[in-house]
Each structure stands twice: as structure tokens, then as C-alpha cells.
């Protein structure tokens, strides 16, 4: 059993739906849970549910899009419980419409809540996690970002941006044991009502996603993992790199890319680079360049 006893976990957007399920399960595994939501009554209701079951919880109503409010929330958590160990960036909204018909204000709003909301929370907890030498952060990405979805250009862009944020924060946080991952849930939440058949809604209960979250928050959690979860099924998604080919430069280079396109996109032997720099080194290697070994005195 995953034991989170002594850990303090913040779940944003936890007044209902997936966030509520996350909060309840974290508490059931011993964590002290901070239930955040824009709606104070809903946040308190979930916190009361946790304490009624014998757990420890507190509610904080704040908008993740407001950095000052987020900073105040983290200060309150640390003042009350002395630390912050786990951050689950779950808060989000939908403003679905085809790109041609979408107002830019709706694009910005979705980016502000999903992406900047996660940035605000990560920025506020980062110094505390570094100081204590431990942190677990989970971004909520989506298949709409990983693979696209009609009518969700704003949502998809925000969700894929969170993957990029995860990649770099995981690298920068490694020395302080801050592990950063993504979960891509498929869950029948309020945002999906009326969009899916009832039979699918019944299978895609939010509670069937949350068990995957615990694997990303435990002491032995991975880092830089994208965990897809839905209907009790779990898989990892990866941003891979094909072996590629060397085309070179010159007047025929563009034609070379076109004629060798099949080899360029051949997925045989593809890899998952450890960083953008590593991907760049593969390109240099194709060009016949080997970086000199560092000199030692």
C-alpha cells in the first residue's frame, strides 16, 4: 500500500470531479490534504468529507490564475503544517469552439488557468520543496494536447505546454529530489456532461483515474512520465525521436529531405531523449561531429 503518512498534499480544483477523487484518495493513504477550489463551499465540503472519514484536511479558496492568492495559500499551508510535499495541478476550465470561431479572450483564459495556474503553484512551492529536499509535482495534461481534439485548440495548447513545463522542471529539480510528472486523465467530469454517451460516462468514472496519481506522488515515484489514465486502464505516453538521416546542406538539401522522408520518419529504433540538448547532439552526430571530452587539470 502506498503510504503518504506525514506528507502534505495540495490539490487544486478539488471541490468536485476529478480533484475531489484525488483529494479523497490521498487522504485515505495518509496524506494531510489541502483542498483548493475557486468555490469556498465546495472546497470546504470536500475537506469536511475527509475529516469525517478520519483524515486531516483544510480548505483554501483561491484562484490559481492569481499569483498573489497562490502565494498566500502556500504560506498558509506552510504556517499550518510546516511543509508542502505534493502538488497536484488539477484546476482547469473549458471554452471549446473551433479555432475559426474562437475569441482570443477564450484562448487566453484557458491558457491562463491551465498553464499559468500551474506555473503559479509550482513557483510558490518550489523554494519550500528545494529547502526540504523533497517534492512531488503532477501536472494534469490531456490527450487533447498530446494528440489533438477538434474544437480544443486552446485547451490542447495549454495541456501540451504543461508537458514542456514538466520536462524542464524535472531536470532542474532532480538534485533536490523534486520529481515532476504528468497525468492525462479521461474521466466523466462535469466538463464532459452531454458530450459522451451515458455508457461511456459510466465507465469513465473519475475514481478510476486517481489510483494512477498515487504512483506519481510516492517516495519511489518516477520523474518526467506522462501517465494516461481512464476507465481503470493505465499507459504511458512518450515523446520519441526517430534515428533520422543526414541530408547535409547545399542546393539539393530540400529535395533530399523530401526524397528521404520515409527514412526520416521511420520509427524503427526510436528513442526518448533525456533532454533537448541530447536531441541536438544526435543531429551533430549525424553531421559527423563529436563533442570533445572536457579537459581535466
What are the catalytic residues?
155
The DSSP bridge pattern shows strands 57-61 and 86-89 to be unpaired
C-alpha dist (Å) from residue 100 to 79, 97, 147, 152: 47, 8, 19, 11
CB 29 within 8 A of CB 214: yes
Report d(CA 16, CA 206) in Å as an integer. 10
Nearest CA-CA partner of 125 in 59, 183, 169, 184: 169
Report d(CA 74, CA 244) in Å as an integer. 46
Neighbours of 240 (CB within 10 A): 10
CB 138 within 8 A of CB 88: yes
The DSSP-derived string for 188-206 is: --GGGTTTS-HHHHHHS-G
- Cα 212 from chain centroid (whole Å): 13
The DSSP bridge pattern shows strands 8-11 and 226-230 to be unpaired
Burial of 3 (0-12, 13-18, 19+ CB in 10 A): exposed
Q: Tell me the backbone φ, ψ of residue 20, rounded to 5 degrees.
A: -60, -45
Amino acid at each position: 500500500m502506498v503510504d503518504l503518512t506525514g506528507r502534505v498534499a495540495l490539490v487544486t480544483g478539488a471541490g468536485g470531479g476529478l480533484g475531489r477523487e484525488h483529494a479523497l484518495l490521498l487522504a485515505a493513504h495518509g496524506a494531510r490534504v489541502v483542498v483548493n477550489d475557486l468555490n469556498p463551499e465546495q472546497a470546504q465540503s470536500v475537506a469536511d468529507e475527509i475529516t469525517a472519514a478520519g483524515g486531516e484536511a483544510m480548505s483554501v479558496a483561491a484562484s490559481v490564475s492569481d499569483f498573489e492568492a497562490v502565494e498566500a495559500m502556500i504560506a498558509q499551508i506552510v504556517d499550518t503544517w510546516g511543509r508542502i510535499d505534493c502538488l497536484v495541478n488539477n484546476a482547469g476550465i473549458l471554452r471549446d469552439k473551433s479555432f475559426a470561431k474562437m475569441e482570443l479572450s477564450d484562448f487566453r483564459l484557458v491558457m491562463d488557468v491551465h498553464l499559468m495556474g500551474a506555473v503559479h503553484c509550482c513557483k510558490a512551492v518550489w523554494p519550500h520543496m528545494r529547502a526540504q529536499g523533497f517534492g512531488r509535482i503532477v501536472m494534469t495534461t490531456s490527450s487533447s494536447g498530446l494528440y489533438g481534439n477538434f474544437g480544443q485548440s486552446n485547451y490542447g495548447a495549454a495541456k501540451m505546454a504543461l508537458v514542456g513545463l514538466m520536462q524542464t522542471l524535472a531536470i532542474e529539480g532532480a538534485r533536490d529530489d523534486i520529481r515532476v510528472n504528468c497525468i492525462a486523465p479521461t474521466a466523466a467530469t462535469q466538463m464532459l456532461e452531454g458530450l459522451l454517451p451515458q455508457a461511456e460516462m459510466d465507465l469513465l468514472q473519475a475514481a478510476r483515474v486517481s489510483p494512477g496519481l498515487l504512483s506519481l506522488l510516492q517516495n519511489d515515484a518516477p520523474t518526467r512520465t506522462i501517465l494516461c489514465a481512464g476507465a481503470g486502464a493505465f499507459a504511458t505516453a512518450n515523446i520519441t525521436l526517430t534515428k533520422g538521416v543526414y541530408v547535409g546542406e547545399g542546393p539539393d538539401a530540400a529535395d533530399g529531405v523530401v526524397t528521404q522522408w520515409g527514412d526520416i520518419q521511420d520509427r524503427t529504433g526510436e528513442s526518448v531523449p533525456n533532454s533537448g540538448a541530447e536531441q541536438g547532439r544526435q543531429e551533430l552526430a549525424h553531421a559527423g561531429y563529436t563533442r570533445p571530452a572536457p579537459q581535466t587539470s
